[in-house]
Amino acid sequence: MSVKVSISDCFDGGNIKFIRREQNEQDADTVDIILHIKPDVYTVLEKIGHMQYFSFRSTISGLDGSQKVRYVLENAEAVSYPDAWPGTTICYSTNVEDSDSWKRNLDTYYMAGKLQWEHVHEKNGSTFFSYFPPYSYGRHLNLVSKCGDYANVESVGQTVDGREIELVTVGEGKLTCWITHRQHPGETMAEYYAEGVLTRLLGLDTEGKVDEQVQRILSLYTFYIVPCMCLDGVVRGHLRTNGCGANLNREWTTKRFYEAPTLERSPEVYHVLNKMDETGVDCFLDIHGDEELPFNFLSGAELVPNWDKRMESLHGAFAAAYARANSDMQTKYGYPPADTRERVLEYMNVATNQVANRFNCLGLTLEMPFKDCLTNKDPERGWSPKRSRELGASVLAPLEYIHPYLRAEGEFWTSLPASDAYVPPTNDYKAELKDNKEFVPLKKRFYSDVYELRKPKEDN
Ligand SMILES: [Zn+2]
């Protein structure tokens, strides 16, 4: 058969390297396409070339009938979080521009260090495959352009590669709420979340008309929203770093001899933190995606120097209100809290820790899954752009609920219901898995972001 399979990542946010084509050993009708994920620019602080995000286009020609192709990511074991692969289902679509067209390949499997899946191509033309539906720089520019019709959009500075770092400001309230998205560019769900927040706050799809809750929120808060922190990484198809290899979520303060943030290495954080110092912060949300856990969850600033009953109560009440507002959020599963204050001091370069402590305010990292969301399963689509947008739109409910307490004097928590109490999350979700054949429990847990600070301390 003379079917041609051509692989390309040369589009906004693409990432893959074609290695070779082979005849499948078991099946004469299947062609194997062997691929490698490309690493980000090397990260000096963590001494690693991060990688895991991939997104590519496969173009078929010369087809008479159908062609089964097995795609093999041969270097999957060498990624930043290999233990996240079991339970992963990759996304595919024939229309890269339509964020709601993506479906999951339910037969994705991880074996012998390789991530693999088979796809039957029924006709000539292109199919896109991606770790999570991509969110392109073009889509980002479209979003900030629409925001400009209803809010102040300014550039706070430029990235290493020279892109504008946009800040959207809206609202007249006394309380200052900062929301940053996509410090890690491969966590594309984070910018779909931003789209959800901004669409609702600004009425982007209703010609600027907003609902009553939004009107109340805009009188309580002034919002400072960064839809995308790591624009260079977006275009380059990176997992975690900017144009010169900086993991932005480790750049929020100097760590030992590693100075941060700096204009040369991490202007994205440098400019945003400067602006925060100007405006002050009463509430901070940092939006991410987690490769491993099949849940949405919040991770706080537990045990930073300013952490006390007040901060703990704000965290608990916000998380409980969010879970009441949207059943895709839950409070039981997540990163277990840190066990010592000494350990946390080593991670003050993480945005949530730095901002919560610096401004003595509520600070939360929000994580969404790359996989399916086990609290409301949808194997066909998994966690999706649509539900990421909806989770963003519904954040206004916990923000409204928490506002009287953010800067309250005295022991406000004594008047809150018991259901608002802070619950330390657990990482043991095996009970949830019993009815979920598509998820394989792992012996070893490994987390994409700040979990490393909650592990028992190792000498190194
Ligand atoms: Zn992240």
Cα–ligand 1 centroid distance for 35 (angstroms): 25
Q: Report residues near ion ligand 1: CB below 5 Å.
A: 184, 187, 288, 449
Cα–ligand 1 centroid distance for 252 (angstroms): 14
Q: 254-312, pLDDT tens digit by residue?
A: 999 999 999 999 999 999 999 999 999 999 999 999 999 999 999 999 999 999 999 99
% of the chain surpassing 90 pLDDT: 91
Task: Out of 2.40.170.20, 2.60.40.3120, 1.10.357.10, 3.50.50.60, select the CATH number for domain 4-130.
Answer: 2.60.40.3120
Cα–ligand 1 centroid distance for 59 (angstroms): 31
Q: Which residues of 164-191 are buried (b: 16+ CB within 10 A; e: fewer)?
A: ebbbbebbebebbbbbbbbbbbbbbbbb
Q: 323-345, pLDDT tens digit by residue?
A: 999 999 999 999 998 889 999 99
Candidate list 74, 251, 268, 367, residue with the active-site label: 367
**Residue ranges of domains in the chain:** 4-130, 137-454
| Of 287, 324, 305, nearest in space to 402 by CA | 324
Q: 387-426, pLDDT tens digit by residue?
A: 999 999 999 999 999 999 999 999 999 999 999 999 999 8
| Of 407, 374, 159, 180, nearest in space to 268 by CA | 159
Q: What is the mean pLDDT of residues 38-44?
A: 96
Cα–ligand 1 centroid distance for 184 (angstroms): 5
Strands (DSSP E) along 131-267, which ranges? Answer: 152-158, 164-170, 175-181, 221-226
| pLDDT for residue 96 is more than 50 | yes
187 is catalytic: no
Assess contact for 326 and 298: CB atoms under 8 A: no
| pLDDT for residue 430 is more than 80 | no
Q: 109-145, pLDDT tens digit by residue?
A: 999 999 999 999 999 999 999 999 999 999 999 999 9
Could you tell me the two tokens for 194?
A: 């931003």
Cα–ligand 1 centroid distance for 450 (angstroms): 9
Cα–ligand 1 centroid distance for 404 (angstroms): 30
**pLDDT in the model for residue 347:** 95
pTM of the full structure: 0.94
**pLDDT in the model for residue 426:** 87
**pLDDT in the model for residue 127:** 98
Could you tell me the two tokens for 71?
A: 């795609």
| pLDDT for residue 449 is more than 60 | no
Cα–ligand 1 centroid distance for 250 (angstroms): 11
Q: Using 50, 70 and 90 to split pLDDT, how confident is the model at 354?
A: very high
Cis amide bond preceding 441, omega within 30: no
Number of other residues whose CB lies within 10 A of the CB of residue 328: 20
| pLDDT for residue 457 is more than 60 | no
Cα–ligand 1 centroid distance for 249 (angstroms): 8
Assess contact for 79 and 58: CB atoms under 8 A: no
Q: How far apart are CA 323 and CA 314, in angstroms?
A: 14
What rounded mean pLDDT belongs to the chain?
A: 93
Q: Using 50, 70 and 90 to split pLDDT, how confident is the model at 40?
A: very high
**pLDDT in the model for residue 25:** 92
Cα–ligand 1 centroid distance for 289 (angstroms): 5
Q: What is the mean pLDDT of residues 349-353?
A: 98
**pLDDT in the model for residue 446:** 40
% of the chain surpassing 70 pLDDT: 93
**pLDDT in the model for residue 427:** 81
Cα–ligand 1 centroid distance for 23 (angstroms): 38
Q: Which fold would CATH assign to domain 137-454? A: Aminopeptidase (3.40.630)
